[in-house]
Amino acid sequence: MLCIDGVEKSYRKGGLFSGERQTVLKNVSFECMPGECLGIIGESGSGKSTLGRLILGIEKPDRGDIFFEGKSVRDRRVRVGNISAVFQDYTSSINPFFTVEEAIKEPLTLLGKVRSDDRSKMDRLLHQVGLSPSYRTKYPHELSGGEVQRVCIARAIASEPKCILFDEAISSLDGSVQMQVLELLKDLRKMYSMSYIFITHDIQAAAYICDRVVIFRNGQIEEMAPMEQLKDVRSEYAKKLLQMIMA
Q: Name the pLDDT band for 57 (thresholds 50, 70, 90).
A: very high
Q: Residue 81 is part of which domain span?
A: 36-62+74-246
Q: What is the CATH number of the domain that holds 53?
A: 3.40.50.300
Lowest mean pLDDT among 11-25, 147-161, 175-189, 201-215: 11-25
* pLDDT reported for residue 38: 97
Is 186 domain-assigned?
Answer: yes
Lowest mean pLDDT among 137-141, 183-187, 239-243: 239-243
CA atoms of 101 and 29, how far apart (whole Å): 38
Task: Compute the half-sphere exposure of residue 202: CA atoms within 13 Å on the CB side of its CA.
Answer: 19
* pLDDT reported for residue 60: 95
pTM score above 0.95? no
Per the structure, the count of domains in the chain is 1
Is 30 domain-assigned?
Answer: no
Region 215-243 average pLDDT: 86
